[in-house]
C-alpha cells in the first residue's frame, strides 16, 4: 500500500512539473483542434491515437488523376460530426498502403502528405484517406505524426492547445 501511494505521489509530482514547465506547448490532450492549411481545412477535431501508427482523414469521392506526370487524388474531406461540412481537396499521392484495422479488416488506402497545424506548431504529416463516417472523429492522429511533431500526450486532458488560426477555405460547402 505504501509503495502504490509513493508511486502515485511521484506521478503527480512529475505531472505537476511537466504542466508547469516552460515546455508546456509540447503537451496535447486526447482530443485537439487542428487545421490542414494546404488543403484549406480548418476547425477539425482530431482524436489522438498513440496505438495507431498511421494518421487517417475521413474522405469520400476519392479519384486518382495525373498532374505533371505525377499521381494525384481528388477527394471530399468531411468536417464536423453534428453539422456536416464538406471540402473538396487535391493532393499528390505519396503511396498506397495496406492497413489492418484493430478489428482485423484489411483495406488499401491512398496516402497523402500535407501540413498539419496544431496549436502554434506546423509540420508535414502523412494521412491515409478512408471513410470514417461511423467514427466520432473525422481525423485520427497516429504515433508517427506525434513523434514527428515531438508531442507528449496526456490522455486525461482534452483541447490543451489553442485552436490553430483560421484560414480561408474557398472550397468549403
For residue 14, is pLDDT > 80?
no
Comparing 3-12, 94-103, 157-166, which segment has the lowest mean pLDDT? 3-12
For residue 54, is pLDDT > 60?
yes
The domain spans of the chain are: 26-153
Using CA atoms, how far apart are residues 156 and 152, in angstroms rounded to an integer? 12
Using CA atoms, how far apart are residues 107 and 84, in angstroms rounded to an integer? 25
Using CA atoms, how far apart are residues 173 and 19, in angstroms rounded to an integer? 39
Average pLDDT, the chain: 82
Fold of the domain spanning 26-153: Cathepsin D, subunit A; domain 1 (2.40.70)
Cα 100 off chain centre by: 18
Q: Is 0.85 topped by the overall pTM?
A: no
pLDDT number for residue 103: 75
pLDDT number for residue 16: 66
For residue 48, is pLDDT > 70?
yes
Band of pLDDT at residue 19, cut at 50, 70 and 90: low
Amino acid at each position: 500500500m505504501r509503495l502504490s501511494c509513493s508511486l502515485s505521489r511521484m506521478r503527480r509530482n512529475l505531472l505537476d512539473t511537466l504542466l508547469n514547465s516552460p515546455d508546456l506547448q509540447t503537451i496535447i490532450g486526447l482530443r485537439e483542434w487542428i487545421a490542414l492549411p494546404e488543403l484549406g481545412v480548418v476547425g477539425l477535431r482530431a482524436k489522438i491515437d498513440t496505438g495507431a501508427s498511421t494518421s487517417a482523414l475521413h474522405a469520400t469521392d476519392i479519384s486518382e488523376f495525373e498532374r505533371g506526370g505525377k499521381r494525384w487524388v481528388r477527394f471530399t474531406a468531411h468536417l464536423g460530426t453534428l453539422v456536416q461540412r464538406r471540402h473538396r481537396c487535391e493532393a499528390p499521392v505519396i503511396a498506397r498502403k495496406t492497413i489492418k484495422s484493430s478489428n482485423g479488416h484489411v483495406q488499401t488506402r491512398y496516402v497523402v502528405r500535407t501540413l498539419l497545424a496544431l496549436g502554434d506548431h506546423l509540420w508535414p504529416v502523412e494521412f491515409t484517406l478512408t471513410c470514417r463516417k461511423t467514427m466520432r472523429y473525422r481525423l485520427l492522429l497516429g504515433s508517427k505524426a506525434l513523434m514527428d511533431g515531438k508531442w507528449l500526450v496526456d490522455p486525461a486532458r482534452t483541447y490543451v492547445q489553442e485552436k490553430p488560426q483560421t484560414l480561408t477555405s474557398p472550397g468549403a460547402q
